[in-house]
Amino acid sequence: MTKKKSPSAKGSNASRTATRAKAADSAPPPRLSGDSADPAGWHPDTRMIHGGVLRSDFKETAEAIYMTSGFVYSSAEEAEAAFANTKPRFVYSRFSNPTVQMFESRMTLLEGAEDARATASGMAAVFASLACQLKAGDRVVAADALFGSCQYILAEILPRYGIETVLIDGRDLGAWRKALSKPTAAVFLETPSNPGLRIVDLKAVCDLAHKAGASVVVDNVFATPLLQKPLEYGADVVVYSATKHIDGQGRALGGIVLGSRSFINDKLQPFLRHTGPSLSPMNAWLLLKGLETLELRLDRQCASALRVAQFLASQKKIETVLYPGLKSHPQHALAKRQMKAGGTLVSFDLKGGKAGAFRFLNALKLILISNNLGDSKSLTTHPATTTHQRLGPELRRQQGIGDGMVRLSVGLEAPEDLEADLAQALKAV
């Protein structure tokens, strides 16, 4: 990025290039208005179907897939104006594309954020949301119960660039208070966490973080944009792996970062533009289609998850069931306060450790073994040997991931069939 101030040579080519690069860097991509307005009164379910549509002159019903890497100019002057950002238009799909923009606009409306940028995967979104605002010498405080790759970014990658990272038990407000007693640049957390379904008090942590000067980034994948609104509790940035519930049908990877217009335009946009973790227009289209049915799917999946959690809690071969929507969850009251429902994931500890868990998984007939989640198909995984294998036994113990733990992502199947499959597999334990 040409951020260096050029010496006084006003009007020289070098200074013009630097100014132009800066203007284009921080300029938002054009927000072309389509003919689908978004009256403020629309409910979220309506917005998820019509929000952000850019309809072309062909007046298509479904959103168009602009499968193009670049865009053409009618003259050299127009190209110059596009790069100087004096004429807003699409320039190059690494940083702006109409189909991707429709997905970003729809997500912005859904989250209640000022702006958003989509990325190729959830991890690209997580990394960009932190890397775009941090520099050597900065300090980050994070809850330790994290998705495996988020943990790797915080514990392994950021420290290599001279960023200090402090990982604490996200449930413990005393630990947050202590860690945030020093100036801090950013806070990162996930709630509910994967796979232990631990809850972080969003309001209390955002207040403490802001006093320490930190910007709060929340990975809201497990709660989804419908069940929990981190911005309302004071979070500054929300990130999603859209691969999960937003696609929800196991077809596409994607991610998105949402926040204030100034964060998105001044910090995130230049980072994404020049490092290039761009979402494909094809995947953006699949994610738009996913949003159209998100509420229906989530309603059904949350209801089934609660039912399955209650069923599992009544089984003798299961030691503990973790589900934020169950009264027995140690942080049920907090979960109820900040989430609309308990979510689509249930974790439970089987008697018999790893051997017991493996016997159970291998006996399942309907529920598939897969590390993905939020899918229409019910999926199950053994975190200690898959998603959280890399952590090693000590870190797993700290995060409450035992050898007998199984994580179940409840899908759209008839709950009776899921219960029958779980019951017959439990017989094998």
Ligand X SMILES: *Cc1c(COP(=O)(O)O)cnc(C)c1O
Identify the three-state secondary structure at position 143: strand
When the beta carbons of 63 and 190 are compared against ligand X, the nearer one is: 190
Least separation in angstroms between residue 194's CB and ligand X is 5
Least separation in angstroms between residue 42's CB and ligand X is 28
Least separation in angstroms between residue 386's CB and ligand X is 12
State the burial class of residue 157 (Cβ atoms within 10 Å of its Cβ: 0-12, 13-18, 19+): middle
CB-based closest residue to ligand X? 122
The two three-digit tokens of residue 127, written as one number: 């990394």
Strands 255-259, 237-241: pairing is: antiparallel
When the beta carbons of 356 and 383 are compared against ligand X, the nearer one is: 383
Radius of gyration for the alpha carbons in the chain, expressed in angstroms and rounded: 23
Least separation in angstroms between residue 88's CB and ligand X is 30
CB under 8 Å to 193, separation ≥6 — which residues?
Answer: 143, 145, 146, 170, 199, 200, 222, 399
When the beta carbons of 190 and 236 are compared against ligand X, the nearer one is: 190
When the beta carbons of 210 and 251 are compared against ligand X, the nearer one is: 251
Least separation in angstroms between residue 219's CB and ligand X is 5
Least separation in angstroms between residue 241's CB and ligand X is 3
Tell me which residue of 219, 354, 272, 300 sits closest to 93, measured CA to CA.
272
Least separation in angstroms between residue 14's CB and ligand X is 39
Q: How many CB atoms lie within 10 A of CB 421?
A: 18
Q: What letter would DSSP give residue 70? A: B
The backbone torsions φ and ψ at residue 309, rounded to the nearest 5 degrees and listed phi first, read -60, -40
CB under 8 Å to 15, separation ≥6 — which residues?
Answer: 6, 9
**CA 419 to the chain's CA centroid:** 29
109 within 8 A of 231, measured Cβ to Cβ: no
When the beta carbons of 129 and 215 are compared against ligand X, the nearer one is: 129
Least separation in angstroms between residue 120's CB and ligand X is 8
When the beta carbons of 122 and 383 are compared against ligand X, the nearer one is: 122
345 within 8 A of 335, measured Cβ to Cβ: no
When the beta carbons of 34 and 383 are compared against ligand X, the nearer one is: 383
149 within 8 A of 298, measured Cβ to Cβ: no
Rounded Cα–Cα distance for residues 319 and 297 (Å): 29
CB under 8 Å to 293, separation ≥6 — which residues?
Answer: 248
Least separation in angstroms between residue 168's CB and ligand X is 18
Q: What letter would DSSP give residue 390? A: G
When the beta carbons of 53 and 223 are compared against ligand X, the nearer one is: 223
When the beta carbons of 153 and 357 are compared against ligand X, the nearer one is: 153
Rounded Cα–Cα distance for residues 356 and 317 (Å): 9
Give the up-direction half-sphere exposure of residue 220: CA atoms within 13 A in the CB hemisphere.
27
**CA 382 to the chain's CA centroid:** 22
Least separation in angstroms between residue 405's CB and ligand X is 16
Apex CA 251: angle with CA 247 and CA 255, to 5°? 50
CB under 8 Å to 234, separation ≥6 — which residues?
Answer: 202, 203, 206, 207, 210, 216
> Would you tell me which residues interact with ligand X (CB under 6 A)?
121-123, 126, 147, 149-150, 190, 194, 219, 221-222, 241, 243-244, 253, 255
Total residue count of the chain as it appears in this document: 429
When the beta carbons of 141 and 345 are compared against ligand X, the nearer one is: 345
Least separation in angstroms between residue 111's CB and ligand X is 16
When the beta carbons of 243 and 280 are compared against ligand X, the nearer one is: 243
